[in-house]
Amino acid sequence: MPSEVEYANDGVKVYDSAGDLVGHFGYFEALADQIAAFSRPSVAYKQDGSQVAAGVPRYEAARFGQGIMIEEGTTNLAKTNGGATADFSNAIGWTAMGSGQSIANGVATLQSPNGTTVSGFQCTLTNLAQNTKHSFLIRARYKDGTGIAQVLSLDLNAPGYDNSEQELDVLTSQLTTASQNFKKDGFDSQSAPASVALRIFTFSTRPIEVEFVQLEQKAYATSFHDSTRAAEALTVPTTGVFTKGNWAIELIFNPTSIQNIGGRAGYLWFCYIDANNWYRIIITATGQFQISVSSGGLETGYTTALNPIVTPGTKYTIMFSGNGSVIRTCINGVQIASDISYTEPIGSPSANMYIGSDYIGGEQANGTIDDIRISSRARTLAEHQAYVNSGQPQTVDDATTLLMGMDGTLQPTVRGYGLKIIDGEIILAGELNAVGPSGDTALSISAQGDQGKIYFYDEGTSKGSIMINGASTSDLWLRGENGLYLDGGPTIAVGNYAGVTNPGIKFGGDITSDFMPHSDAAYSIGRSNRRWLNVRAQYVTSGDICFTETSCPVCGKPFSPGDAVTLLTHTVDPEKIMCLPIHDGCKNSSYEITAKVPDTVTRYRLNKDGDVEQYQATRTETVVETACRLRAGYILDEESGSFVKQGTSDAVTKDEALETYEVEVERPVYKSITIRSVKSEPEAATEEE
């Protein structure tokens, strides 16, 4: 087809001779008003143990940033039946077992004094449902590495009622100094007597900290709650978002509960019209995806082709689309079976689509949902694979009607109006401004003469810029109104140093100001294993002159306060001499000293006059070192010297706070030299003498 311009409802589209879209005036990404709605009429706990208020979503770590946790309601029988504070914020309801146990600062600490005396707590449950599936959940860790490790147990116990069926044992190979969740799904309460003890106990002399304990009357464990958590539901409107006859829904699901033992379905997405007409993505009672549409009571879709059982902790990237003729399903980069012919459901969708539950806010799938995108056309396998393989979150394009990243907000990204040039160039005469949702300028790009300038704003106030400064110098300036922070991960390269891989900062120019430490006599230049080769200055003013040698290489005796020191020259080159300190009394002794000095190689450089000059550089070799760094979420308290969790005062062990990594570093290559004493002959006596 010839090149053409199309005037569409969403702007002006320009196509090339092959029919490909090359420009779209009337398109850009923007945050819409919060059109999604979340409900949960109770508080809830996140995976890290922090509590969120009623009606506030639980944003949890997901494949891209954060996702929203959506679960069915639950009741923790330890609290509602046993009357015990399940998160150990106090000791109410708990009775001590044996010795060595305590409850303080939100943890129960268990430590047997001798390895034979039990240490634990228990509470009393009454009239526990018999012959019913229940589940255990406990969060625990070793407090430190002292003592002898033993199993941590959580069980139900009564005279004549002490079975392995109602017991969760956390093995010593499972417990570490990092807090972890442990669970037992679907155990049978069998013939539980009217009064049963819920016990947590150990014989370990290595101290164990328990952060919470949970008993649910469910065949699978859900996330922790201290008492009763209400069911959660998330909805988005259908008007302007879902287009019958040409549509696609994409999302990522990470289940947190076992899906095939509860005898119930779990809904991930439900666009409901009536009992006989709908679109949905669910997990069946047997733990398999069922992705289908129903038209007039005739269901069409994918079930038998989705045999693998959904596994907790596995992330599933799902795409389900239809174009009025065929539906298509892809999961984790693979199309499930082939396209299937279908008939669009009859009637108009209800006002809202449900994410994570059915149309009445029940039958939750239990897990985190992330990166939801709804489109006004069917998506292809190639598009799905490109997204899965990119390692990047979803983006808005001309078919996107809703995109929810779930990164700490329910505000979706939608299409707005602006300018998009595909694989081309924008020719700008004047200024291009990016305007935020508030109407304030956020970014400004302008051409002033033949020089470009970019300004950055925060709520309409300029905060920084990138610009060419002046026609005479043509310097590129980066300016921050309140400071400029360069964060390049392990390396910031200043100058022409592309491809730098080793940690550090490299300068390709001169420093033209004072080089000052933050405070007086508080910091060093170099360390014992990170030394500078040459430090040159016109003047060196120092309170003390220090040498790394602590003993005299001639006599072998250590230097002591008050010793006179002589510098023994061992190397002379065109630019410098190199010396060793020796006792002044040893300077006339006979000696033969072996010293190690950096080996050198000849290199060439360009001086400021444009001449190539020769110089001697230290010969180096690349070695791999193992180093330590703080894990994400941990800091070193510089006042106390303790490692703590970020945002808290909770001290943690070094093993918990640090991680090791390997890094390539350059080390100098040393050579050995021999220094021998040179004795001068006595001068001949003069006649006068």
Q: What is the pLDDT of residues 169-200, one digit of tens each?
A: 999 999 999 999 999 998 999 999 999 999 99
| Greater model confidence, 383 or 480 | 383
DSSP, res 530: B
> 198: buried, middle or exposed (CB in 10 Å: 19+, 13-18, 0-12)?
buried
Residue 386, helix vs strand vs coil: helix
Residue 78, helix vs strand vs coil: helix
Backbone dihedral region for residue 463 (phi beyond 0: left; psi -120 to 50: alpha; all else: beta): alpha
> 196: buried, middle or exposed (CB in 10 Å: 19+, 13-18, 0-12)?
buried
458 has which bridge partners?
461
Q: Are 49 and 139 in contact (CB under 8 A)?
A: yes
DSSP string, 388-454: HHHTS-----TTEEEEE--SS--PPEEEES-EEESSS----SSEEEEE-TTS-EEEEEEEETTEEEE
Q: Are 413 and 403 in contact (CB under 8 A)?
A: yes
| pLDDT band (50, 70, 90) for residue 488 | low
CA 349/CA 355 separation, integer angstroms:
15
Lowest mean pLDDT among 7-21, 180-194, 642-656: 7-21
Express each pLDDT in 44-92 by its tens digit. Answer: 988 887 889 999 999 998 888 889 999 999 999 999 999 999 999 999 9
The one-letter code for the residue type at 606 is L
Lowest mean pLDDT among 194-198, 509-513, 670-674: 509-513
Half-sphere exposure of 174 (CA within 13 A, CB side): 14
pLDDT of residue 64: 84
Residue 382, helix vs strand vs coil: helix
| pLDDT band (50, 70, 90) for residue 28 | very low
| Greater model confidence, 19 or 286 | 286
Q: Give the other-Cβ count within 10 Å of 279's Cβ.
A: 26
| pLDDT band (50, 70, 90) for residue 26 | low
pLDDT of residue 130: 94
CA 284/CA 263 separation, integer angstroms:
8
The CA–CA distances, whole Å, from 135 to 67, 128, 140, 217 equal 25, 13, 17, 7
The CA–CA distances, whole Å, from 656 to 143, 171, 385 equal 10, 19, 37
| Greater model confidence, 31 or 386 | 386
Q: Are 128 and 198 in contact (CB under 8 A)?
A: no
pLDDT of residue 531: 74
Q: Are 586 and 564 in contact (CB under 8 A)?
A: no
Over 70: is that where the pLDDT of 497 sits? no
Mean pLDDT to the nearest integer, 146-153: 96
* % of the chain surpassing 90 pLDDT: 45
Half-sphere exposure of 388 (CA within 13 A, CB side): 20
> 397: buried, middle or exposed (CB in 10 Å: 19+, 13-18, 0-12)?
middle
Give the range with max mean pLDDT: 240-244, 323-327, 518-522: 323-327
DSSP, res 128: P
pLDDT of residue 33: 53
| pLDDT band (50, 70, 90) for residue 687 | very low
pLDDT of residue 22: 66
Over 60: is that where the pLDDT of 500 sits? no
Lowest mean pLDDT among 57-61, 380-384, 521-525, 619-623: 521-525
Q: Where are the alpha helices (DSSP H) in 245-402?
A: 381-390
Over 90: is that where the pLDDT of 535 sits? no
Q: Are 437 and 450 in contact (CB under 8 A)?
A: no
The two structure tokens encoding residue 100? 């060595």
CA 124/CA 361 separation, integer angstroms:
34
485-499 burial, b at 16+ Cβ within 10 Å, e below that, comes to: eeeeeeeebeeeeee
Over 90: is that where the pLDDT of 36 sits? no
| pLDDT band (50, 70, 90) for residue 689 | very low
Over 90: is that where the pLDDT of 2 sits? no
Lowest mean pLDDT among 269-273, 287-291, 450-454, 610-614: 450-454
168 has which bridge partners?
154
| pLDDT band (50, 70, 90) for residue 129 | very high
The two structure tokens encoding residue 549? 């040698």
Q: Calculate ∠ Cα 512-514-515, nearest 5°.
A: 105
pLDDT of residue 509: 60
> 299: buried, middle or exposed (CB in 10 Å: 19+, 13-18, 0-12)?
middle
> 29: buried, middle or exposed (CB in 10 Å: 19+, 13-18, 0-12)?
middle
Question: Phi and psi for 78 in degrees, rounded to 5?
Answer: -60, -35
Q: Give the other-Cβ count within 10 Å of 665's Cβ.
A: 16
Torsion, Cα of 465, 466, 472, 473 (10° steps): 120
The CA–CA distances, whole Å, from 429 to 25, 94, 432, 681 equal 17, 75, 9, 87
Q: Could you tell me the pTM of the whole model? A: 0.57
The CA–CA distances, whole Å, from 22 to 12, 424, 530 equal 11, 8, 54
Q: Are 359 and 228 in contact (CB under 8 A)?
A: no
Give the range with max mean pLDDT: 236-240, 267-271, 416-420, 497-501: 267-271
CA 405/CA 369 separation, integer angstroms:
10
To the nearest whole number, what is the mean pLDDT of the chain?
A: 84
Question: Phi and psi for 597 in degrees, rounded to 5?
Answer: -130, 155
CA 670/CA 598 separation, integer angstroms:
4
The CA–CA distances, whole Å, from 394 to 51, 192, 373, 411, 413 equal 29, 51, 7, 15, 10
Intra-chain end-to-end CA distance of the chain, in Å: 116
Q: Are 158 and 126 in contact (CB under 8 A)?
A: no
pLDDT of residue 626: 84
| pLDDT band (50, 70, 90) for residue 496 | very low
CA 67/CA 252 separation, integer angstroms:
9
pLDDT of residue 664: 78
Q: Give the other-Cβ count within 10 Å of 585's Cβ.
A: 13
399-418 burial, b at 16+ Cβ within 10 Å, e below that, comes to: bbbbbbbbeeebbbbbbbeb
| Greater model confidence, 649 or 556 | 556
DSSP string, 586-649: GTTS--EEEEEEE-EEEEEEE-TTS-EEEEEEE-EEEEEEEEEEEPTTEEEETTTTEEEETTS-
354 has which bridge partners?
235, 270
Over 90: is that where the pLDDT of 280 sits? yes
Nearest one of 164, 148, 147, 145 to 156, comparing CA atoms:
164
Residue 205, helix vs strand vs coil: coil
> What does the longest C-alpha to C-alpha distance in the chain come to?
134
Q: What H or E segment, with its residue span, contains residue 657?
A: helix 654-657
* % of the chain surpassing 70 pLDDT: 83
| pLDDT band (50, 70, 90) for residue 495 | very low
Strands 228-229, 74-75: parallel, antiparallel or unpaired by DSSP?
antiparallel
pLDDT of residue 446: 75
Q: Give the other-Cβ count within 10 Å of 346's Cβ.
A: 14
Print the SS3 string covering 263-275.
CCCEEEEEEEEEC
